[in-house]
Amino acid sequence: MVAALDIGTTQIVALVGEMDEDGGIYVIGHGVAPAEGLKRGVVVDMEKTVKSIVKAIGDAQMTSGTEIDRITVGIAGEHIRSINSHGVVAVGRSDQEISKSDIKRAVDAARAVAIPVDREIIHVIPQSYSVDDQAGIKDPIGMSGVRLEVQAHIVTASVTTAKNIYRALERCNLGVDHIVLESLAISKVLLSEAEKENGVVLVDVGGDLTNISVFLEGAIQHTAVVPLGSRNVTNDIAIGLRTSVESAEELKLAHGNALASMVNAEEMIEVPGVAGKPPREISQHVLASIIEPRMEEIYSLVYREIKKAGATEIMAGGLVLTGGGVMLAGSVELAEQIMDAPVRWGELRGIASTPDELNNNRFVTAHGLLAYGFETEPLDSSSSAGVKGFFKRFENWIQRQF
């Protein structure tokens, strides 16, 4: 079993999953809590953050019958930076056959890049290898050569931010198996190998941030963050309609549309009043006219980042939208207009079973972290969440029987 924790900007989600003999992942427990004490993916109030994590973990333990002591946790935010690097080594064996140790040395050489002292490397992701004069190799193990070179994507995070996440987890008595770039985790459950090979852009619109990841030739090539998200849309509605933020969020989810031209101008909705004022009616078209400019701004900034990365040709393979911020009608159509490329919703894949209430874009990151945890941890790992969980479930069964 594996446990995963998504520390988002609006909610914290804990999942517990188990894998069957055929590799199917089953979500057997979950917990969700409001993300208090966090701003744009950064801890700003340690006490509130710890309470939110404890609540989500506690609910996941209760619903799964497991005791969680180690987790795979996601990291995102404006502090995330990425660069492309390369490393070169001489093949070590006398018969010139490339081994795992050669690959490790090449990746370590790519890692040895100058970064500021206030930053920490969280991922070194190999993109492709070259053996002597032959480039574009995916797996060079067993090949013969004298010189091995790797092209790698290096993701760094703020040391302070990463330490505060670790500190919050320590105060919750949780160990960390992996700290994972969220967009990398999401790709595990949204993108096919063919899409990552041919080229695709993954856009994750969260509460305060929008994360962009460009994939090509089977590997991540570029990552970027736009400091806007669905919470900005909600605030615009609250200001424009002179209502509370809570009412604005409800209106957005129940009646919102990202493309005003798709809305019937004659359809009316009720807007709750504030400070004792009575509710009033407005056209649904007015609501969409408030939402569209902000969503257009978010997608325009995303497109600018894609152009900056020189990845506009990759968009021919399409964009995949995910995150709670794109659950509005019209989001795909508006994105297609701005990007001039095919766009689709992200659909959860690679998860054999999950509760119906979790099978939507708000919980994709948590599922991705779970898949990442299974992919990178041995199934019989003594540090996994399921070891204690098995004995606890067995104990509960005994108590029920007797």
Report whether pLDDT(389) > 80: no
Say which range, 60-69, 221-230, 278-287, 374-383, has the weakest mean pLDDT.
Answer: 374-383
Mean pLDDT value across residues 234-254: 94
* Token pair for 305: 């980042």
Domain ranges of the chain: 81-158, 193-346
Instruction: Give the pLDDT of residue 326.
Output: 86
Q: In the CATH scheme, what architecture does the domain 193-346 have?
A: 2-Layer Sandwich (3.30)
H helices present in 139-181, as ranges: 159-171
Tens of pLDDT along 320-339? 999 888 888 999 999 999 99
CB neighbourhood size of 276 (10 A): 5
Written in H, E and C, the secondary structure of the chain is CEEEEEECCCEEEEEEEEECCCCCEEEEEEEEEECCCEECCEECCHHHHHHHHHHHHHHHHHHHCCCCCEEEEEECCCCCEEEEEEEEEECCCCCCECCHHHHHHHHHHHHCCCCCCCEEEEEEEEEEEEECCEEEECCCCCCECCEEEEEEEEEEEEHHHHHHHHHHHHHCCCEEEEEEEHHHHHHHHHCCHHHHHHCEEEEEECCCCEEEEEEECCEEEEEEEECCCHHHHHHHHHHHHCCCHHHHHHHHHHHCECCHHHCCCCCEEEECCCCCCCCEEEEHHHHHHHHHHHHHHHHHHHHHHHHHCCCCHHHHHCEEEECHHHCCECHHHHHHHHHCCCEEECCCCCCCECCHHHCCHHHHHHHHHHHHHHHHCCCCCCCCCHHHHHHHHHHHHHHHHC
Instruction: Give the pLDDT of residue 377.
Output: 57
Higher pLDDT, 275 or 31: 31
Task: Mention the CATH class of domain 81-158.
Answer: alpha beta
Instruction: Give the pLDDT of residue 385.
Output: 46
pTM, two decimal places: 0.85
Domains 81-158 and 193-346 share a fold: no
Mean pLDDT value across residues 307-311: 86
